[in-house]
Chains A and B, each alone.
Chain A
Amino acid sequence: MRLLRAALCAGLIGCSDPAPAPQGWAAAFDANDAGWLMNVWGPRGDALFAVGGRPSEGRVYRFDGSAWRRATLDVQAPLLNWAWGFSADDVTVVGNGGTVLHWDGRAWSRQSAPRAENLWGVWGASPTDLWAVGGNGAADDRPVLLHFDGTSWTDVPPPPLQRAGVGAFYKVWGLSADNVYVVGQRGVVLHRTGGAWREELAGASGDLVSVWGTDANHVLAVGGRANGLVARWDGTRWTSRSYDVLPGLNGVWMRTPRAAHVVGGNGAAGTIDLDTLALTESTTPTQYDLHSVFGDASGALTAVGGTLGSAAGPFFGVALRRPLTASE
C-alpha cells in the first residue's frame, strides 16, 4: 500500500512538483492545418524546407529566417517524406508512390523513379551521387534502394538479407560517398563501403527508422515502434538498447556525439549520449508524433511531426523549434 500511495501521488497533478519546464521547445509556426510534417532540412538557418502533407497531397513549407510559408509546388505529388540537398537551390524530396521532386531554386520538377513504392529517405554525398530508399513494408515486398548519378535514378538490388521479412528501408545517411548507412524495417542495417552494400547485424529487435552520425565512430540509428530503440556504431561494433517507457523514435540528428537529438511518438524528444547511450528527455508542448529533427547552421533545432498514421486522417501537423546550446 505504501508503494501504491507513492505511485499514486507521483501520478497526480498537484501532488508533486509540476512537470519540468520545457527546455525551450516552442511552436515554430501554427502547423495544425499544414498536414503531416515528415521532415525538415536546410542548408542555412534562413533556408529550411519542411516536407509532408497528406496521402493525397504533398506539401512543402519554407522558412526564410523570419516566417514559414507554404511553397507552391509546380507538380502534383502525394505525401512527401524526406528531403536532402546541397544548397538552397538544389534540394531533392522523396515521397509516396515513388515520388522524387527536385528544387533548382526556381521551380519544382519531378524526377522519374524506377520503382513505384513509397520512398522514405534520401541522402547524397554530392549532386551526382544520391541514394533514396523505401518500400511498402509487406513481408513479401522487396525493399527499395535507388541511386541517382546526376542524370537518372536506377534501381539497385539490395544484397541478400539474412534478416527475414524486410519489406522497406526507411532512411539513408552517410559520411561520404563510400561510407553510407541504410536502416529499415525489422532492424535491418546496410552499410556501403568499398563500393558495395553489405548487411550488418546491429542487434536491433524492431524497426530502425532513422540514422545520423558525426564521424566514422559515432553513428546512431533510432527506431522502435512501441518502445524507443537505438543502435550505435562506435567504429568497432554495434550496440543496441531500448528505452522502456519511451515511445518509438522516428528522428535523429547530431553535431556532437555527446548529444544525439532524438524525437518520436507522442511528442517524445530528448538527447542521447553516444558513449553511454543515456537518454535525457526534454518536454515538448505536443503529444503529436514527432517524425524528424534537424539542427541548422544558425544553431536552432527544428522538430516536425503530426497526427501520423491513419490514411484516413486527421492530418494535423506540428513544428517546434528551440535553440541549440553550445554543448549540443
Chain B
Amino acid sequence: MRHRARAALALGLPLLVAGCPAPEAPEPTVPTDIFGALGEVLPSASAAQRETFARGRRVATRRFTPEQGLGPRFNVSACSDCHERPTVGGSGARYRRFLLTAQRLPDGSFNATGTNGVQDQFTLGSREPTTPGTNVTATRSPIPFFGMGLLAEIPGSEIASRADPDDRDGDGISGRANYDRGFVARFGRKAQTASVEGFIRGPIFNHIGITTNPLSEEMKARLPVPSAATRSSALTEGRSGTSVQAQVAAADEPLTDSDGVADPELPEQDLFDLVSFSMLTAAPRPDPPTPTTVRGRTTFERIGCAACHTPALRSPRGLIPAFTDLLLHDMGEGLADGVEMRLASGREFRTQPLWGVAATGPWLHDGRADTLADAITLHGGEAQRARDAFAALGETDRGELLAFLESLGGREQVTAGLLPPDAPVPAAGAWGGPLPGLDAAALARFERGRRRYDGDFAFARGLGPLFNGDSCRACHFDPVLGGAGPLGVDVTRQGIFDGAGVFTAPAMGTMAHRHGAVDARPPIDARANFFEVRQTPHTFGLGRIDRIPDSEILAHEDPDDANRDGVRGRAHRLADGRLGRLGWKGNVPSVREFVRDAMGAEMGVTVPEVAGETFGATRDDDGVADPELTRDELDELAGFISALAPPPRTSRDPALEALGAQVFSRVGCDACHRSLRDDAGAEVPLYSDLLLHDVAAPDARGIGEGAAGPREFRTPPLWGMARTAPYLHDGRASTAEAAIAAHQAEAAASSRAVSQLSPADREALLAFLSSL
C-alpha cells in the first residue's frame, strides 16, 4: 500500500489539481468533446494539434523502404499495416497477428527472445529464424489506439485505486496495476507500458526495424498530453513530490540497429507527430442509448462484466467511458499465454477497453474469437463467473448485451474486411475499377466479388490450418484493393541445398507459412537452409492476360537463343500440357486456377472439385467440412479478378514518355517486356512475354516451381509499376532503377545499357515506365 500511495503522489498530482478535491465538488461527467468516428481527431484539439494529427497520420501510413531504415528484421513496413481496422489507428485482422517469443529457464526466469520479445518474420530477403532456446510462443493481435491520449491522462492513482490484488472484497475479482519505472502502466495487452511514446518507439523498432531517439524534454512538454519531467535541475523535490507525469516513463534509450542506415531512422519531429497523432485520436463515439442497449447495459453490469470493464475512469476532463479499469486480471488457463511483461504474469491481461469494440475484431489478445459472443465465452479466471452468467443468459438478454457492446462506438464502420461499408466502386478503367463496358448485372457481380475479395475468412469458415493471409485483400491492396503487397506480406518459400548446391524441396512443400495455430510458429522443414521471399504482385488486368492465346505466348519463345540476341525465354508447360502464364514462376495457367491456388496455398481454404481445374487443395484437416469455398464463391472471386481493369496509363509528359519508349526498345527491354495480343487481336499492353527467363546473378540461389528452374522467373508485367513497388520477385528493389540494375544473365546486356544511358535518356526511360 505504501508503494501505491507513493505512486499516487507521483502520478496523480499534475493531472488533478494542486490541492484536495473539494468535498462539495460536483460529480464529474462525461465530456462531450472527446468523441468522434473511429480514426477522427479529438474534437477538443486545437487547430495546431489538428495539423499535427494530420502529419502524424501520414507518418503512421508511411511505408518504409530498406533505404529508409526498414529492417534488418521486420514484420511489416508501416504502422498502419497492423493498425488498419476499420481505419488507421485500429486493430488488424488475423493476417496481421504476430508472435511473442521467450525462453522459460529452469530457474523460472522469463527471458524474452526475438527482437525484444517479438518474433519477426523477415530479414531483408529471407526469413528471420527463431532464437535458439525459445520455448514460449504467444500470438498477439494488433491493439487499437483510439482514445489513447484520453487514457494517458487518467491519473495513475485513479487506476491504482481500483486494485484489489488480494480480493479483499471477496467478489472473485482481484486486479492489480502494472508498473513501469515507478509509474502505473496502462498500454498494451499486459498494461506493460506507461507512456504513449514508449508504446510507439518499441513497436516501430520491433516490427518495422525503425530506430528512434527518445523525444527531448522540450518535445515531450509540447505533446498533447504534456509529458516532460521536471529535469531542468538535478535537484528537485524528487519523485514523490514533483510534477512528473506518467508519460515521463518513456524509455530513455536510443534505439539502434545494424542495417546500414544512419540512426535514428525516424526524425524526432516525425516521432513527435506520430505520438501526437496517437494521443489525439478521438474516443469512439457511442450510439445514443436505445431501450435495447439500455437493457443490455443493465445485464452487462448485473452479470459482473463491469467489475473489470469499469464503465468510466476519472480524468482531468471528467469521466472517460472506456469500459476498462486498466488493471491486470488473471484470465485463466485457457487464455494464458505464458508471457510475462513487467509485473504481469502469463495468465494476466489488462482489461481491454470496450469503446469501439464492434469494429475492431477479431477479438481477444490473440484474435482467436470470431465474434464478441465467442470472446466473452472464452473468458476465464477472474472473469469465469461473469462468463458463466453470460452463457446462462436467454437469447434476448444475450442479444441485448451484445447490442450494448456494439453501441460503444464504431458500429457504422464495421467492415468484413477493410472496405468501408459505403466505399464506392472505382470508376471503370480506374485503379481497382472494372473493365469498361460491363452491364449492370456484371457490375453487380463485380461488387459482390469485390466484397468477397476484401472480406476476412474466419476460422469457422475454414481459414487455415496454415495461412499467410485471411482474405485476398490481405496481400493484394496496394495502392487499392486488387493491388500488390509491400514487403510485410511477402510469402516465404523454403528449400534445402546440399553441399553440391543441389536443391531439394521439402516434403511438406516449399511454402513456409506465416500463420497457423494460436501460440505457435508454423513449422518448417528441419533441414531447410534456404529461404526466399516472394513479393505479392498486383492482380489488375489478369482477365486480359487470361485471354491471350497460347500461340501468342509461344510465338516469342526462343529457348535455344536461336536468334543469338542473348535472350531466350521459354514457356512454362505444365505436365498436363497447359501453358502457365501467371505467378512469379509462370506456373499458373488461368485466373480460375490462380484463385484456387491462392485459396489453398495462402489461406488454407479448400476449393471444390471442378472438371479441368487442378490447382488448389480440396481437402485439409482443420475440422471444417470441405470444400470450404463454394463453387459460387469461387466463381465470384474469379469473375471479379477477371473483370479488374488493367492499371490505367498515366501521362505527365507525353513527349518525354515517347522518348522513353524509344529508349526502352533501344536498350532491349522489350525483348521480354512486350505487349501481346488477345484472342480478339487487341493489344494487351502488359509489357511481358509471359515466358520464363534467367535474369539472376551468377551466384544466385532460388526455389524452383514446376518446370521453372530456381533461377528462372516469368517476365513480370510492367503495367502499373509506378504504384506497385517494391519490385522483383523478392521485392528487393524499392525503385525502378534498382530493379533494372539487378537484372543479370539474359537481361545483363539491357541492364548494362541502361547504366550507360545519358541522364536525359535515363529520365525519359523512367518517365515511360512510370506512365505504364
Contact = CB atoms under 8 A, between A and B. Distances in A.
Interface stretch (B50-58, B92-100, B250-258, B508-516): B250-258
Contact of A288 (B105, B182, B231): B231
A289 B133 CA distance: 33
Interface string B216-237: 1100000000000111011111
B157 interface: yes
Interface string A279-295: 00001111111000000
Contacts of B546: none
A143 B13 CA distance: 42
Interface in A1-57: 3-16, 18-19, 22, 27, 30-32
A300 to B, nearest CB: 18
A213 interface: no
B292 interface: no
For the residues of B in contact with A, the DSSP-based class is: loop
Contacts of A138: 258
A227 B111 contact: no
Instruction: Name the residue in B7, B107, B236, B340 with the highest tally of chain A Cβ atoms < 10 Å from its Cβ.
Output: B107
A203 B110 CA distance: 8
Contact of A7 (B161, B237, B253): B161
A13 B157 contact: no
B394 interface: no
A165 B252 contact: no
A6 B161 contact: yes
Task: Give the size category of B's interface with A.
Answer: 35 or more
Contacts of B18: 12-14
Instruction: Name the residue in A14, A238, A306, A309 with the highest tally of chain B Cβ atoms < 10 Å from its Cβ.
Output: A309
Interface stretch (A69-77, A103-111, A123-131, A239-247): A239-247
Instruction: Name the residue in A5, A7, A227 with the highest tally of chain B Cβ atoms < 10 Å from its Cβ.
Output: A7
Contacts of B213: 310-312
Given A285-B236, A286-B238, A309 B254 contact: yes
A165 B254 contact: no
Contact of A11 (B106, B157, B252): B157
Given A4-B158, A19-B241, A247-B181, A12 B230 contact: no
Interface in B1-36: 3-9, 11-13, 16-21
Interface in A261-275: 265-268
A277 to B, nearest CB: 15
B155 interface: yes
Given A267-B239, A286-B238, A4 B109 contact: no
Interface in A187-236: 187, 201-205, 225-227
A314 B217 contact: yes
Given A287-B229, A318-B235, A164 B132 contact: yes
Contacts of A225: 181, 251
A316 B231 contact: yes
B499 interface: no
A174 interface: no
A91 to B, nearest CB: 25
B158 A203 contact: no
Given A164-B133, A205-B111, A266 B239 contact: yes
B241 to A, nearest CB: 5
B631 interface: no
B161 A266 contact: no
Contacts of B158: 4, 7-8
Contacts of B538: none
Contacts of B235: 27, 285-286, 318
Interface in B521-568: none
Instruction: Name the residue in A22, A27, A312 with the highest tally of chain B Cβ atoms < 10 Å from its Cβ.
Output: A312
B134 interface: yes
A87 to B, nearest CB: 31
A261 B612 CA distance: 79
For the residues of A in contact with B, the DSSP-based class is: loop
B241 A164 contact: no
B111 A226 contact: no
Nearest to A265: B181
Nearest to B244: A287
Interface string A310-328: 1110101110000000000
Contact of B242 (A12, A186, A287, A308): A287
B234 A286 contact: yes
A66 interface: no
B111 A165 contact: yes
A78 B229 CA distance: 27
A10 B111 contact: no
Contacts of A268: 182, 239
Interface in B238-289: 238-242, 244, 248-249, 251-254, 258
B113 interface: yes
Contacts of A205: 109-111, 340
Contacts of B230: 287
Contacts of B133: 162-164
Nearest to B111: A186
Interface in B151-191: 155, 157-158, 160-162, 179-182, 185
B19 A13 contact: yes
A9 B343 CA distance: 26
A297 interface: no
Given A32-B233, A205-B110, A287-B238, A12 B182 contact: no
A140 to B, nearest CB: 9
A224 to B, nearest CB: 9
Q: Considering the complex of A and B, which 8 residue pairs feature the smallest CB-CB distances, nearest first?
A: A309-B252, A11-B12, A11-B8, A7-B161, A201-B107, A164-B133, A245-B3, A318-B234
8 contacts: A7-B12, A11-B8, A11-B16, A187-B109, A204-B109, A226-B342, A244-B179, A245-B6
Given A7-B5, A8-B161, 18 more contacts: A11-B9, A11-B11, A13-B13, A13-B18, A22-B238, A30-B234, A163-B133, A164-B131, A187-B109, A247-B181, A266-B182, A266-B239, A285-B236, A286-B236, A287-B231, A287-B242, A309-B253, A312-B213
